[in-house]
Amino acid sequence: MKQSITINDVAKLAGVSRATAGRVVGNYGNVSEKSRLRVQAAIKELNYSPNTIAQSLRNNTTKTIAVILGNVKNNYCNALVYAVEKEAQKEGYSVIICNTRENIQREIMHIQNMRNRHVDGIILMSAFTTDEQIRDEEKELYESNYPMVFVDRKIHGLKRDVIMSNNVEASYEATSHLLKLGHKNIGIIATADYSTIRERIRGYEKALNEYGISMNEELIAETTALDPDEARMVTGKLLDEHPEITAIYILNNSLSAGVLLELKKRNLRVRDDISLLVWDDEMLNQLFDLTTVVQSIDNIGKVACNRLFELMQGKAEAREGYTERIPAQIVYRNSCKNINVIDN
């Protein structure tokens, strides 16, 4: 890369000092009309634009935020990145993306790295599950006042800003829908042990209880990862062991494909043979007419980003530890059958 043009070059060409040139570029202070024009001409002639690195060092702000998440190939994640980047762009911020692949050590490394790079803030979808502890040496990374907003998942015992869906309520509502239709044995397919999933299960349990049903842990089948193949296997096992199941409730995106494949293999028709209710809207859902809990990822990203901006500007310390719930919508399609006995 050849040498870039600096403000010195501009100043020299315009016949003014570096300071005056800087005033024109940065548009502050007082500059005579004559100087301004000369500098502007020089800028144009040299095609100058400021070196952001130098500005960062000087101003102590990088105009950059980081999004640290499991895997951009996941649809929740890439929708989040899209929303954040769009919002950030409006304010002139760029977005660095880091995949943890759900590995905590990698997550820690990324946070460390982003701090060394002095990004102005971090949006984090943490890989910590509910039963894992943060080691003392790393606690500072999560607890310092470095601007950071959690998204989708919270870490147990950590007072931090979190933006996420109203999981309990939406899951309560979704489960109630199935219960109203007469389903009593509702199987669950989900990834193990993220706070998000725990909340959704809480909503499920609450709805069951209201119908006088106590939750049966055996109907909850967990996968270790967001992997369709594993989802498929787990679904098979669940159906084998619990033939009484009339509905399957899937708590993560990327899992429904596996479930559908298993149903296809067994020649079970969605709705007629088994009801399906699913979190997150994918291409599949419309095609299979799946009733779906749709998270407003766009909003989550936007709110997270703006909240982060507040933290960055020091406007928001009072709200530390705040959780913002973005409502998820249930889109009723046609995958849940009414199995109430018409008794008269």
> Would you say 251 and 200 are in contact if contact means Cβ atoms under 8 Å apart?
yes
Q: Exactly one of 37, 44, 59, 224 binds DNA (CB under 7 A); which one?
A: 59
Interface ranges with its own copies (CB under 8 A): 1-2, 4, 47, 49-54, 56-57, 60, 62, 64, 71-73, 75, 78-79, 81-82, 85-86, 94-99, 112-118, 140, 145-147, 228, 254, 257, 260-261, 264, 282-284, 286-287
In the bound state with its own copies, the residue whose beta carbon lies nearer, of 25 and 181, is 25
CB 258 within 8 A of CB 230: yes
Q: Are strands 162-165 and 121-124 parallel, antiparallel or unpaired?
A: unpaired
Q: Residue 1 or 318: which CB sits closer to DNA?
A: 1
* Residue 111 backbone phi and psi in degrees, to 5: -60, -45
DSSP H or E segment with residue 220: strand 220-223
List phi, psi (to 5°) of 99. -95, 125
Which CB sits closer to DNA, 60 or 214? 60
We find the least distance from the C-beta atom of residue 202 to its own copies, in angstroms, to be 28
Q: Is 267 in the site for DNA (CB under 7 A)?
A: no
Which residue from 1, 2, 34, 240 is in contact with DNA, where contact means CB under 7 A? 34
- Please answer whether residues 267 and 53 qualify as being in contact, where contact means their C-beta atoms are separated by less than 8 angstroms: no
Is position 47 an interface residue for DNA (rule: CB under 7 A)? Answer: no
80 binds DNA (CB under 7 A): no
Task: Choose which of 22, 121, 203, 258 interacts with DNA (CB under 7 A).
Answer: 22
- Non-local CB neighbours of 264 within 8 Å, separated by 6+ positions: none
Stretch that binds DNA, among 54-62, 133-141, 161-169, 303-311 (CB under 7 A): 54-62
* Burial (CB count <10 Å: 0-12, 13-18, 19+), residue 178: buried
CB 55 within 8 A of CB 275: no
Report in angstroms how near the CB of residue 315 gets to its own copies at its nearest: 14
* 217, burial (CB in 10 Å: exposed 0-12, middle 13-18, buried 19+): exposed
Contact by Cβ (8 Å): 99, 130 = no
Shortest spacing between CB 53 and DNA, in angstroms: 7
Q: What angle do CA 103, 106, 109 make, to 5 degrees?
A: 155
Beta strands in 11-109 (DSSP E): 64-69, 94-99
Choose among DNA, its own copies, none what residue 28 binds, the Cβ cut-off being 5 to 8 Å by kind.
DNA
Task: Find the shortest distance in angstroms from Cβ 27 to DNA.
Answer: 10
| Separation CA 318–CA 67 (nearest Å) | 23
Using the rule CB under 7 A, which residue among 37, 54, 109, 339 binds DNA? 54
Query: Among DNA, its own copies, none, what does residue 72 contact (CB within 5–8 Å per kind)?
Result: its own copies
Task: Tokens for 78, please give them.
Answer: 């890439």
- Interaction partner, residue 85 (its own copies, DNA, none; CB < 5-8 Å by kind): its own copies
Residues that bind DNA (CB under 7 A): 3-4, 6-8, 16-20, 22-23, 25-26, 28-35, 50-51, 54-55, 57-60
